[in-house]
Amino acid sequence: MRKVGIVRDSRFLEHDPGPGHPESPARLEAIYQAMDKASLPGLVDVDTREAEFEELAWNHHPDYVKRIFNTASVERFQLDPDTATSRGSCTAARLAVGGLLNALELVDKGDIGSAFALVRPPGHHAEYDAAMGFCLFNNVAVAAHYARRVLGYRRVLIVDWDLHHGNGTQRSFYEDPAVLYFSTHQYPYYPGTGAVEELGRGEAKGKTVNVPLGAGARDGDFIFIFKEILIPVANFFRPDLILVSAGFDVYEGDPLGGMRVTINGFGRMAAVLLHLADSLCNGRIVFTLEGGYHLQGLAGGVVEVLKACSRDGRTWDAEDAPSPGVAAVVEQVKRVLGAYYPDLAQGYR
């Protein structure tokens, strides 16, 4: 049994993007209730704190950070067609980042084995100078900066299994060889980025790995992709930390997406990443909530990930045949990225 840190705060519920919005406070309420009901052993509460201006400015333009801070004084501010704030949004967004940084700190010290930041608003669409797709600050991107600047880690792997491509995270590290961004996502789909050929620039070429998928990918497809691409890429990169943009909108019943992942599938996907963390970086892994709009699928998926984090024996069950479309995408990714990863052609052995 390993201790699992949980970032949880009722102030996350005070970010209200407007009536009928899918990214509603009910999402975290469902997760918190499911966690309490499951009464999982080994969970440790992580204190939250508001991220500092300077920390946010590691990843965002200072004028943009100021702009978000200013939204705290108004009832509602529309940042983009999908993204609006209420009075509590700025505080929630700062707590989301700060809570994640605290979790990272505790994982670094070894006080907890892993952590899950159950926060909102989500972050992976947030750009350097713009809010986008329900996201204000890029939680995971700021955490990767923190890991390098404050904790002194040399290499950070970000795994993004959200339905959508994390355009903001990709942009943040597109020319930074110390942060590897790996994303599976429905494609073509919102936000439009995430083609295989987007693979980083300059010294960071090959450090962005996109696996764009048609609708309908199932549990076994994701496990196959992780085994065939992520594991060899991660083994070559040798990260000091794994950050996960955990989106549950790949769930089979999600109203925004077309993927077919089951609740059990999320535990299996997490098990692959936990295995990687154990073998490469002393178990250091921190999950952060991104999307997920089917409340039962979201809450059930989070509970499965937490069970996997406590190492209760859950595995990914290695025998999975991929669907033909997914196998073709995997071959394409291997062709395009093979030049940067000598072992990629072999996959997981």
Nearer to Zn ion, 82 or 162 (CB): 162
Nearer to Zn ion, 55 or 82 (CB): 82
Task: Give the interface segment with Zn ion, choosing from 1-9, 52-60, 158-166, 199-207 (CB under 5 A).
Answer: 158-166
Nearer to Zn ion, 221 or 290 (CB): 290
**In the complex, what is the shortest distance from the CB of residue 342 to Zn ion, in angstroms, rounded to a whole number?**
33
**Which one of 166, 247, 283, 322 is in contact with Zn ion (CB under 5 A)?**
247
Radius of gyration of the chain (CA): 18
Is the separation of the CB atoms in 268 and 139 below 8 Å?
no
Which of the residues are catalytic? 125
**Which one of 249, 298, 310, 314 is in contact with Zn ion (CB under 5 A)?**
249
d(CA 137, CA 141): 9
Nearer to Zn ion, 82 or 219 (CB): 82
**In the complex, what is the shortest distance from the CB of residue 291 to Zn ion, in angstroms, rounded to a whole number?**
3
Is the separation of the CB atoms in 116 and 5 below 8 Å?
yes
Task: Give the interface segment with Zn ion, choosing from 88-96, 142-150, 249-257, 330-338 (CB under 5 A).
Answer: 249-257
Q: Is 168 in the site for Zn ion (CB under 5 A)?
A: no
Q: What is the 3-state secondary structure (H, E, C) of the chain?
A: CCCEEEECCHHHHHCCCCCCCCCCCHHHHHHHHHHHHHCCCCEEEECCCCCCHHHHCCCCCHHHHHHHHHHHHCCCEEEECCEEECCCHHHHHHHHHHHHHHHHHHHHHCCCCEEEECCCCCCCCCECCECECCECCCHHHHHHHHHHHCCCCCCEEEEECCCCCCHHHHHHCCCCCCEEEEEEEECCCCCCCCCCCCCCCHHHCCCEEEEEECCCCEHHHHHHHHHHHHHHHHHHHCCCEEEEEECCCCECCCCCCCCEECHHHHHHHHHHHHHHHHHHCCCCEEEEECCCCCHHHHHHHHHHHHHHHCCCCCCCCCCCCCCHHHHHHHHHHHHHHCCCCCCHHHCCC
Q: What angle do helix axes 295-309 and 263-280 make, rounded to 10 degrees?
A: 30
Nearer to Zn ion, 106 or 163 (CB): 163
**In the complex, what is the shortest distance from the CB of residue 192 to Zn ion, in angstroms, rounded to a whole number?**
13
**Which one of 162, 176, 221, 304 is in contact with Zn ion (CB under 5 A)?**
162
Task: Give the interface segment with Zn ion, choosing from 27-35, 42-50, 180-188, 289-297 (CB under 5 A).
Answer: 289-297
**In the complex, what is the shortest distance from the CB of residue 229 to Zn ion, in angstroms, rounded to a whole number?**
20
Task: Give the interface segment with Zn ion, choosing from 67-75, 136-144, 243-251, 270-278 (CB under 5 A).
Answer: 243-251
Q: Is 164 in the site for Zn ion (CB under 5 A)?
A: yes
Query: Which residues 61-80 are close enough to bind Zn ion by CB under 5 A?
Result: none
Task: Give the interface segment with Zn ion, choosing from 2-10, 161-169, 183-191, 263-271 (CB under 5 A).
Answer: 161-169
**In the complex, what is the shortest distance from the CB of residue 103 to Zn ion, in angstroms, rounded to a whole number?**
21
Residue number with the smallest Cβ distance to Zn ion:
291
Task: Give the count of residues interacting with Zn ion (CB under 5 A).
Answer: 6
**Which one of 163, 180, 261, 286 is in contact with Zn ion (CB under 5 A)?**
163
Is the separation of the CB atoms in 234 and 275 below 8 Å?
no
Q: Is 127 in the site for Zn ion (CB under 5 A)?
A: no
Nearer to Zn ion, 121 or 283 (CB): 121
- Residues found near Zn ion in the complex (CB under 5 A): 162-164, 247, 249, 291
